[in-house]
Amino acid sequence: MAELGLIGAGVMGGALALNLAEKGHRVVLSDLDLAKSEAIAAKAVAEGLPGRIEPVANPRAMVRALARPRAVMILAPAGDPTESVIADAVQYLERGDAIADLGNADFHDTRRRAGKIGDLGIGYLGIGVSGGAEGARHGPAMMAGGSAEAWELLAPALQSIAARFEGEPCCTFHGADGAGHFIKTVHNGIEYADMEAIAETYGLMRDGLGMEAAAIGAQFTAWNDGPLASYLVEITGKVAGTTDAASGTPLLDEIDDRAGQKGTGRWSVIEALHLGAPASTLAAAVEARNGSARKDERLAFEAQYGAAPQPVTGVTPEDLEAALLATRLVGLAQGFAILSAASRTYGWGLEPAAIARNWRAGCIIRSALLGEIAEAQDGAPEAPLLAAPALAAKLTGALPGLRRVLAAALAAGHPVPAMAAALIHVDAMRTGRGTANMLQGLRDYFGSHGFERIGAPGKVAHGPWADAG
């Protein structure tokens, strides 16, 4: 009998099924469209993997073909489609079986499902999968949360197909119920911030320094040999240096400047607000995408107010490298702060070093910095990321370049929201004597005059308004 069941033969599901088959696992594959499952099975045969993928018409047939205890994985669109698939599959499972959702689920849904399905004696896992279809086929990073018993059942197969860093699988169990899906959500928030910082750097080179796309690509490629080494910087160099075959112009000039989003990056910012964790750099990236989608409005503003970006002077490639590095460090630090706040709130006991190691291969934000972060968090898991001496030294060295870039960019009308948010966060956190006493004073004034108080009570205000009528 087959070892694993997989529901969903779309791009991600099909790639994952082939990866499992290639690693020696027998998979029963089900989809609403049987032809999709059959096509994946035929592809497996063509790739020299006969008999490894068995297409079936529905979850009931899939469960019947599985050896006990049965392990079922789901790759379906988040929300109602996943809810429907789970409800259909669960009715055929028994105590001791396991079900795992590998989609981009809202972790609140995962927490609810874990409790509900766990009451039936069926183990439930929520697993974040990063790396896209290419990763799913050849080695994704996977972040699991939920039932420890279900993890024991599925771990051998999942770790066999995961990306590897120095021989270690980037597939880890992180904690109860929604821990895995929450980590993936924050991963995507960090990804948004990283991509926005890269886009801002590209914009400064193109519109501020007048650099051609090929030269920009070459600069990013050179940076990838230094502290910015990462998957995103690597592919930025490749994309910027690519020419469109049909037009002969740089590929980037053929792509419409409207950024889309699927929601997980936005979720990370929403949850950060609920948790009281800093997320300004991530929020700036989400906001930038929201603004980019309003292209008609942007064109109207340009016509009314004039084009914003003007030539930039006094900025060197070394300054831009420093600005990008500093923004990336702050984005990562804010992401890990969100994870720590969630771990305390939901009792997950997350280990930041384990999360950093989970992200070193297979995922979109993989970078050389993650190894340094893992080492720093090994020694002080409760400390803020930027308190680690090695990372603090990197940030301190990069801040002067970030300041020069921001000063020149803002003076010349270049929108650099992620970079600005990163610097403002650092300066706000290093201001020992802040301005919150004024906020407290205003709040206490409102309270003394019958207005609703907001937040925890602070010192009593003794300002000139104390006896005001």
Local structure of 174: helix, strand or coil: strand
Helices 179-203 and 280-292, axial angle in degrees (round to 10):
60
Q: pLDDT, tens digit, for every residue of 421-460? A: 999 999 999 998 888 888 888 877 776 655 554 454 544 4
Model confidence at 172, pLDDT cuts 50, 70, 90, reads very high
| Helical segments of 360-416, H only | 368-379, 389-411
pLDDT given at position 449? 57
Hey, which residues are catalytic here? Answer: 184, 191
pTM of the model: 0.92
Q: What is the pLDDT of residue 241?
A: 92
Residue of 82, 163, 192 whose CA lies nearest to 126: 82
CA distances from 391 to 37, 227, 325, 370, 376 (A): 48, 11, 11, 11, 8
Token pair of 245 as six digits? 């075959």
Query: How far is residue 265 from each of residues 106, 199, 375, 414, measured CA to CA in Å?
Result: 11, 16, 26, 24
pLDDT in tens, 204-246: 999 999 999 999 999 999 999 999 999 999 999 999 999 988 8
Give residue 328's identity as a one-letter amino acid code.
R
Determine the Cα–Cα distance for residues 469 and 466; give it in Å rounded to an integer.
Answer: 9
| Mean pLDDT value across residues 121-144 | 96
Question: What is the distance between the terminal CA atoms of the chain, rounded to a whole angstrom?
Answer: 82
Rounded Cα distance, 346 and 414, in Å: 40
CA pair distance 31, 177, nearest whole angstrom: 26
As to burial, measured by CB atoms within 10 angstroms (0-12 exposed, 13-18 middle, 19+ buried), residue 432 is exposed
Q: What is the pLDDT of residues 20-66, one digit of tens each?
A: 999 999 999 999 999 999 999 999 999 999 999 999 999 999 999 99
Residues 272-310 pLDDT 10s:
999 999 999 999 999 999 998 999 999 999 999 998 899
Q: Which two tokens stand for residue 144?
A: 């699991």
CA atoms within 13 A on the CB side of 123: 24
Average pLDDT over residues 105-112: 96
- Give yes or no for residue 253 having a pLDDT over 90: no
Q: Is the pLDDT of residue 106 over 50?
A: yes
Strand partners, 144: 127, 173
